[in-house]
Amino acid sequence: MAADPDGKSLTVNYPGGALTTTVGAWKSLFGVDSPILQPIPESKTVGVKTHPRVRVIGQPSTQVDSYTYEYTQWPTSQASNAAAGDVVLLEWEGSDGQWTGRVTGALSDLASFFRANSIKPVVFRSERGTKYGPFQLVL
């Protein structure tokens, strides 16, 4: 039996947190070709200060000069062995009922993410029953 690709979990990172729900929910909310579903990495530069290094304990140290290097940072989120995050129930215009997701970070950051990106009005409810929304991008 083949698995439904839209039923697989997908985590999308945003400033301050991340939301995990099914691929089908993301496609329904943002569209199949949404840039939200295509993460963009950032180029980071790290500066290392001059410091001493000891190769063998008890031997004299040598001085390492300062230097910089660059790396590509892809979006990341927190994880744990247990299911990370808080459960939220999501609803939007055209959805078939409620969708379940897990949020890491503050719910206010999730609201800001939907306000900045959602083309459909989104309402979500926390595990404790607090309703948030609707949030929608205003062009």
The domain segmentation of the chain, as residue ranges, is 5-40+76-135, 42-73
Q: What angle do CA 39, 135, 4 make, to 5 degrees?
A: 50
Give the mean model confidence (pLDDT) for residues 52-70: 93
pLDDT at 136: 83
pLDDT at 125: 92
Rg, Å, the chain Cα set: 21
Look at 15-19, 64-68, 76-80, 134-138 and tell me which has the smallest mean pLDDT. 76-80
Determine the 3-state secondary structure of 76 from DSSP: coil
Q: Does residue 86 carry a pLDDT above 90?
A: no
Q: What is the dihedral of CA 53, 57, 60, 61, to 10 degrees?
A: 10
Give the mean model confidence (pLDDT) for residues 120-125: 90
pLDDT tens sequence across 101-112: 999 888 999 999
Find how far residue 68's CA is from the centre of its chain.
28
Average pLDDT value for the chain? 85
User: Which of the 8 DSSP states describes residue 99?
Assistant: E
pLDDT at 133: 80
Q: Does residue 1 carry a pLDDT above 60?
A: no
pLDDT at 36: 78
Whole-number Å distance between alpha carbons of 88 and 128:
9
What Å distances lie between residue 120 and 37, 58, 92, 96, 102, CA to CA?
A: 16, 65, 6, 14, 20
Give the mean model confidence (pLDDT) for residues 7-24: 86
